[in-house]
Structure 1
Amino acid sequence: MAEAWIELPVADYESTWRRIHREFRFRPSINPADWPVFAEPPGSATWSVDGILPRADSPSRARERELATAARDVLLTHVPEPLFALNWQHNGYAFRPSRMVDPHDLNSWLVPVCPNGDYVIFLSQDYAAGLLGQPWERTLCVFGDRLVPAFSLACKNLLGPPVRMRAAGAPGA
């Protein structure tokens, strides 16, 4: 697990968040009128993860494990390593999905794929592809030319159709 996740130095962590705020116009909010909190990139698709997020009365986190494993496989195949992996108000990491021993083990994810109370972000180093998780809206935005179709195919039966899509080449939000 340690080799898959390398904690970002403070300066890198802070500069990454500054760039996220600037490029994705990130404005955290629990107010539905402010959603989505990220300017979702052109060519992105956003899925509801409401049926995936664990509930207090849920005996199993099987669907969350399925999403994590699918996300790892898609990131591994379509995004160069390392990625930025950030969990708002927590440590940030350089993430190498190829080095995960058991992606099905949710405890091995230092940054969860499912936004379970905090904003979660997985980004390519060039910010051209990634996942943006919004805990209050309970959504996961996927962007990147190759990442969106691969994620859509991998999670079709798990997530269903996207709740929002942004056409490639669409003007900024």
Structure 2
Amino acid sequence: MATRAYQDLGTEQAAVWDRFYAQFDFRPSMHRYPAITEPTPSVTWSLSSLDDDPGYTRLVEALHAGLTALVGDGSILCLDWQHPSYRVWPSLVGPDNIDPPGGPGWPLSPYPDGDYFVYLAEDFRFGTFGHPWEPSLCVFGGNLLDLVEAELHEALGQVIRRDGRQVTV
């Protein structure tokens, strides 16, 4: 019997988003950057280098591996602004699992494809925030950064903020 690697948050989704808005001072806007108060520690990369670039695969693989290592058999939240969001058990995601909707794999990418995408620890200690209009990816939480920062720097290059402060080049 196959194990479901994720489930729709359903009625829990509104409460999760309310908590996210409050904890990160989320301010959705196509013109205001950053859209959250980026926590400490955090690193925010520009995603502009990924236009038609193979770095996308490295980004996804590094984050998925880091999240899987951190939560073990536990779960994370995958939030898609204004759309269904999910609880995901990273250790169960893979080609041998049957998942809703659309087959095996993660329900969302860390790359913000037209909306804000958020990967988040159940206790909100670490995660990612993808801003589709900046375009950027903020990775926060010391444990997650320890696992993925070097790989993401190689894949993405340009850091635009550290701990919510602009980085000068």
Fold match (TM-score > 0.5): yes
Q: Does 1:87 align with 2:80?
A: yes
**Residues 9/146 of structure 1: CA separation in 2 closer, same or farther (3 Å cut):** same
Question: Runs (4+) of structure 1 moved beyond 3 Å?
Answer: none
Q: Give the letter for the 1:64 counterpart.
A: Y
Is this contact kept in 2: 1:84–1:94, CA < 8 A?
Answer: yes
2:147 corresponds in structure 1 to 150
Q: Give the letter for the 1:24 counterpart.
A: F
Deviations 1:3-42 (A, max 9, x none): 22211121x10000000110001111011xx210011011
2:98 corresponds in structure 1 to none
1:24 corresponds in structure 2 to 24
Task: State the SS of the aligned residue for 1:78.
Answer: helix
Q: Kindly state the Cα deviation for residue 108 of structure 1 after the two structures are TM-superposed.
A: 2.8
Q: Give the letter for the 1:110 counterpart.
A: P
Q: Kindly state the Cα deviation for residue 49 of structure 1 after the two structures are TM-superposed.
A: 1.2
How many positions carry a matched residue from both structures? 154
Q: Give the letter for the 2:148 counterpart.
A: F
Aligned-pair identity (%): 31
1:119 corresponds in structure 2 to 116
Q: Kindly state the Cα deviation for residue 2 of structure 1 after the two structures are TM-superposed.
A: 7.0
> 65-74 vs 153-162, which deviates more?
153-162
1:99 corresponds in structure 2 to 92
TM-score w.r.t. structure 2 length? 0.83
TM-score w.r.t. structure 1 length? 0.81
Q: Give the letter for the 2:10 counterpart.
A: P
Is this contact kept in 2: 1:45–1:164, CA < 8 A?
Answer: yes
Q: Kindly state the Cα deviation for residue 162 of structure 1 after the two structures are TM-superposed.
A: 2.0
Q: Does 1:45 align with 2:43?
A: yes
Distance, in Å, in 2 between the alignment partners of 1:143 and 1:157 is 17
Calculate the aligned-residue CA RMSD, in Å.
Answer: 2.0
Q: Give the letter for the 1:49 counterpart.
A: L
1:73-84 to 2 correspondences below 5 Å: 73-79=65-71, 81-84=74-77
